[in-house]
Amino acid sequence: MDVSSLIEKEKQRQRDTLMMIPSENYTYPEVRKAVGSILMHKYAEGYPGKRYYQGMEFVDQIESEARKQAKILFKTPHANVQPYSGSPANSAVYFALLEPKDTILGLTLSHGGHLTHGHPKITFSGRYFNTVHYQLSLESKNTGYFDFKEILKIAKKEKPKIIVAGTTAFPRIINWKEFAKIADEVGAYLMADISHIAGLVAGGSHPSPVPYADIVTTTTHKTLRGPRGALIMVTEKGMKKDPQLGDKIDKAVFPGLQGGPHLHTIAGIAIALQKAQSDDFKAYAQQVVKNASALAKELINNGFNLVTDGTDNHLIVVDLRNFNIDGKRAAEKLEKAGIVVNANTIPNDPNPPFKPSGIRLGTPALTVRGMREQEMKIIADIMLKSLDSDQDQLTIIADNVKKLLADYPIDLE
Ligand SMILES: Cc1ncc(COP(=O)(O)O)c(C=O)c1O
């Protein structure tokens, strides 16, 4: 099988379909160039100025630049740019701060937490630590929001060493202050995992957790538009609590969990972090939210039920039960219409996880292509029509989607 031709086909797919999985995005051509560069030839175990190999003149400068830009962008005194991705970043924090069997408190996976937030049995975090979970509220007026009274109750009972605040499918603003109050009251570290919303935080479209959390982790490839990778940052608050925290994190990443850093990725991260400080990026982050909000409004007009009745960020979770179709089947139909989303659980989902009741979709990639509020109306209408279409009709819709996208070109070379 010719892999190069498969890459070309995938490129065409990314060009011709509406990329609406909210954790996906188009990165910059400069980032792709860095990630595909000769930097991947270099071994550099250790940190700038303290390596186990020679030939470090330039790669030390690259990693130092990435660390500097992360600290400037998120306003933290310490940043580690080496984690290979979001999951290893979260694992490194646990490895730095916990002993086996210590307690982690995080959001349940089926309510929008992540596997690495202590999902039991099948994950590293769930197997080696004592993990306990909070859920989103199921009370009628508050369904899908955090229930801070309940989180405090669980935290007081379970006495976690780390509380994780972070989500993969939560469409609202996260109230970091409330999480910090609970963590402070029970003497836990607060780890904010902003993997999904990092670009919104950087662009000023979502409050930053930095004044409230001890540690902030994030992937770099979602709303932040960088390459696949991650950051771990220690805040002033975290440093005050434990001046060794930065050192502990660095040691947990290397040599604790990883070997040689991926300098090609780190160079891509540095470029994305530089770009995220521009006025253009601020405008981008704002438009992502405006687009999601417009799309939510149009979907509601079209009879869709949304978890929390809308969104404040880049993503929307649709509860499809009134359409008599499960999330998996809906996502498959939409894919045939050229709209790529993912099936997702809704809070208290009556359906099993492989056939959940909802879909999750977002606007980060469409916004990169220059789409605005008026295109969101077109997309909401296409979504409604697609769910009621047969195979032939879906093929025609997919063709129209391709034509629509031709007006929003994207450089994928
Ligand atoms: C909140 C959150 N944390 C961590 C991760 C893990 O990132 P990765 O897939 O890069 O390991 C994700 C990825 O979806 C995420 O959404």
Residues 340, 274: Cα–Cα separation, whole Å: 29
Give 68's DSSP letter.
H
Over the stretch 65-78, which tens digit does the pLDDT of each residue have?
Answer: 999 999 999 999 99
114 lines ligand 1 (CB under 6 A): yes
* Both structure tokens of 56: 């470090």
Task: List, for residues 196-239, the tens digit of each pLDDT value.
Answer: 999 999 999 999 999 999 999 999 999 999 999 999 999 999 99
Instruction: Work out the average pLDDT over 158-162.
Output: 98
Q: Which of 27, 94, 114 to mutate to test the pocket of ligand 1 (most atoms within 8 A of CB)?
A: 114
Share of the chain above pLDDT 70, in %: 100
Q: From ligand 1's centre to the CA of 87, what distance in Å?
A: 6
Q: What does the pLDDT average to over 369-383? A: 98
CB distance 344 to ligand 1 below 6 Å:
no
411 is catalytic: no
Is position 390 annotated as part of the catalytic site? no
Q: From the CA of 168, how far away is ligand 1's center (Å)?
A: 8
Of 60, 63, 65, 193, the active-site residue reads 193
279-406 maps to which CATH number?
3.90.1150.10
3-state SS class at 230: strand
Q: pLDDT for 319-335, tens place per residue?
A: 999 999 999 999 999 99
What proportion of the chain, given as a percentage, has pLDDT over 90?
99
Report the alpha-carbon distance of residue 249 to residue 204 in Å, rounded. 27
What the block records as the tokens of 239 is: 């440093």
- Tokens found for residue 31: 């980032």
Which DSSP string corresponds to 182-209? Answer: HHHHHT-EEEEE-TTTHHHHHTTSS--S
pLDDT at 134 over 90: yes
Q: How far apart are CA 275 and CA 27, in angstroms?
A: 11
Token pair listed for 370: 């220059």
Query: Is 45 considered catalytic here?
Result: yes
- Quote the pTM value: 0.98
Angle in degrees, 0-180, between the axes of helices 391-406 and 327-336, rounded to the nearest 10: 60
Ligand 1 binding pocket mutation candidate from 21, 90, 195, 317 (most atoms within 8 A of CB)? 195
Residue 39 is given by DSSP the state G
Distance CA 326, CA 304 (A): 13
DSSP string, 120-157: BTTSHHHHHSEEEEE-B--STTTTTSB-HHHHHHHHHH
Q: Residue 140's pLDDT band (boundaries 50, 70, 90)?
A: confident
222 tagged catalytic: yes
Helix (H) or strand (E) holding 16, with range, is helix 3-16
The residue-averaged pLDDT of 157-173 equals: 98
In the residue annotation, 228 being an active-site residue is answered as: yes
116 lines ligand 1 (CB under 6 A): yes
Cβ–ligand 1 contact at 168 (below 6 Å): yes
Letter string b/e over residues 178-210, b meaning 16 or more CB atoms within 10 A of that residue's CB:
bbbbbbeebebbbbbbbbbbbbbbbbebbbbbb
Residues 393, 397, 401: CA angle, nearest 5 degrees: 170
Distance of CA 103 to the CA centre of its chain: 24
Query: Domain 29-275 class?
Result: alpha beta
3-state helix, strand, coil in the chain (%, to 5): 50, 15, 35
Contact 233, 76 (CB under 8 A): yes
Ligand 1 atom nearest to 194, measured from its CA: 1
Per-residue burial over 91-126, b if 16 or more Cβ lie within 10 Å, else e, is bbbbbbbbeeebbbbbbbbbbbbbebbbbeeebbbb
Mean pLDDT, residues 5-23: 98
User: What's the rounded Cα separation, in Å, for the pair 370 and 287?
Assistant: 9
Q: Is the CB of 218 under 6 A from ligand 1?
A: no
Query: What pLDDT score does 122 carry?
Result: 93
Tokens of 80: 């580690």
Cis peptide before 255 (omega within 30 of 0): yes
Distance (Å, rounded) from C-alpha 270 to C-alpha 33? 13
Q: Which two tokens stand for residue 65?
A: 């630049």
Predicted local distance difference test score (pLDDT) of residue 37: 98
Sequence ranges of the domains in the chain: 29-275, 279-406
Exposed, middle or buried: residue 259 (CB in 10 Å: 0-12, 13-18, 19+)?
Answer: exposed
Ligand 1 proximity of 23 Cβ (cutoff 6 Å) = yes
Q: Whole-number mean pLDDT of the chain?
A: 97
The CA 223 to ligand 1 mean position distance, Å, reads 12
Q: Which atom from ligand 1 is nearest to the alpha carbon of 167?
A: 1
pLDDT value of residue 141: 84
Catalytic residue among 45, 150, 242, 381: 45
pLDDT score recorded for residue 94:
98
Please report the pLDDT score of residue 161 as a whole number: 98
Distances in Å between the Cα of 239 and the Cα atoms of 64, 76, 105, 214 are 20, 10, 21, 7
- Cβ neighbours, 10 Å, residue 392: 8
